A and B are shown apart, each in its own frame.
Chain A
Amino acid sequence: MTTTPTLETAGGVKVVKPTVASHFRDYFGRIRGGDLGALPAVLGLVILVAIFGSARSDTFFSAGNFANLFNQAAGTIMIAMGLIFVLLLGEIDLSAGFAAGVCGAVMAILLTEHGYNQGVALAAALATGVVIGLLLGLLVSKVGIPSFVVTLAAFLAFQGVLLNLLGEGKNISIPDGFIKSLNKDSLPVAWSWALAVAAVAGFALIQFLRHRGRARRGLVTEPIGIIVLRVVGIAALLLVSTAILTQERAINPAIATLKGVPIAAPVIGGFLVLWTFVLGRTTYGRHVYAVGGNAEAARRAGIPVDRIRISVFVIGSFMAAVGGVMLVSRAGSVDPNTGGSSTLLYAVGAAVIGGTSLFGGKGKMIHAVIGGAVIAVIDNGMFLMDFSSGTRYMFTGIILLIAAGVDALARRRAAATGNR
């Protein structure tokens, strides 16, 4: 350690001077130490895409299928984002799937049977989510019932609520409009490019401002190479995706043209930015991590642990409602199975596959997106390869098991290397 270059930061504390090389060294060190983050999911995604791509290069790699993936994954990702808040506290919400269904049904009924406009129906669906979350959170934190039991009961009850709302198995179609286009239509090409460029510019600006702010205070800054690498990476990802999605993907362009980024993509991106900001840059987010890491320490630090616990269930069910809206929008209708079958397990799977720990305290919003992409790719690719849905479920189950196994092994490894 004597040869490591050091520099002085605030108040003259000596710290290791970060370089591009040390950054990579630290990263690999963390991985060896059991802090895997989203790495397994990203690798898995690359491998899966390679497999499906080589087996069905014509269909899997088409622009149409790429756009389709966003619509397929949107519901799962939204629910998974809410679940990450719940998982960060080491809790679980098994009712998120049917909560999504109930909120979707409330929206559909208001739209069709009561003739409310789209905005009111959407707001009602989201408000229903908040109320559900409040109820779950109060039962868990104030009454003290384990979240597994509370939400298992809610899972059963909401299934019944959904059936009753729909009058024993009716299927309600929603009218055309804003809600239906959310997870079905695409943005105009010009808007698609504008949004992509704005996103890249915004990301670069934030990175630059943070670097400058720290440098001005004489704090340790990241090497400029890492920042450039990060910005170039994001730019490449967003711009290449936009280029693919703005290609014509209608089967017969003469009848109806179909191009542009699916509206679902900026919806996912918007919530990703919002919740990443909340978790990473606000006091509230800091307190969520603190309660998940060590509830006793958080309590002694004066953090209202109960209120934090309630709030994560509120956010969880709110995002379930958003997910329900996306599911209903994609299907164009609500039926008793909306949010049922594998919806919840896919969402939990997405969060865990993405790298969020089931044991609390560890997870990021991006995990929902990466994990959701993995699940959508498996579902989509295996469908294109003509596997039966039985085989698809089995395969998804195995992937989830692997992800949870990686999480558990990484924790053991982290404990062994003193990282936990």
Chain B
Amino acid sequence: MTRSIAAAAARRFFRTTTALASIAFLAGPAVAAEEFNALVWCDHTDPALIEPFEKANDVKVNLKEYEGTGAGISILEQSRPGDWDVMVIDAVDVHRVIEMGLLGEMPADALPSADLFPELRMEANNTKDGKTYAVTEKFGYNTISYDKTKVDPKDMEDLTVIWSDKYKGRIALYDYYLPMIGLVQLGLGGKTADLSEADMPAIEEKLAAMKAASKQVSDVVSSQTALATGEVDILVGGGEWITASLAKDKPDLDWVVPKQGAVRWAQSIAVMKDSSKPELALKFVQYILSPEGQARLATSSCYWGMPANMKAGEHLAPEQKLALRWDDQTGYLKNTQLYPVPSAELDQKMQDAWTNMMQQ
């Protein structure tokens, strides 16, 4: 399994390097008739996802990968208008980019919105003043991943286990403050949408307890490695996107949405306002949202996640559906909440709380 993770990391590195090199040499001769540039998350860099679109449309998709909205906005701030045609962004942050005036309107009737899970249409996030600027393409959960042979699965159904001492030293914390603070808020009985500065003292107290009970705070690759190698038995903040791709080689790894709920992540795709190829960009969006594109995106080599389009199920194998817990989605969607969307001031306080937690 370690080999497979290392191989996946190597493949990601190679693909990223290739994508960056492609962008760096945009002025060079192009093999395909057309090219366009997409600012994406790593799941879009899987050739199994991109190549069918490239071949069908005789186009070269230049991909640049980023992680975290802050990094994505930094890239946009340093880019010229027209540098990017398509962007993938955290669904809860779509309005930040709309407010920057960078997203173009997409014709609503050109998108398969009716085929999306109702909870994933997210009009409040993807539209403004009745205009559609983005569409949800993939989602999943920041919850609890664990090795079911090492821990009692019943314990994992209670979110308060993440700050208890029962599994002290056997827990990894996913290093992303937003969903993690959202999880704590749920564990304390609150709602992510209501999270305010008044909640922060209680959250900080629980973060300190979580740090004391954990072995490490780590990024995606390190968390996945730690869980797969047995370095830790529980990953708080994990979910299908950590364990599903490992299901074949590590069937003991599982994930669950506890009774208090979990944080739901969702990623949206949008066309940039200054795209020089808006038709092609929209075509790419339509491909990603098609049942076939959705199935490929859901099982991308970088990380798995639930497709937003309900019809993608027709293109997923039974074992893939099992790893994604396809049949549990109705209950899970009801029992999960979106990331907190903090103001700039609260966001800074949340980051400070997270940094303080790591330095304890």
- Indicate whether A and B interact: no
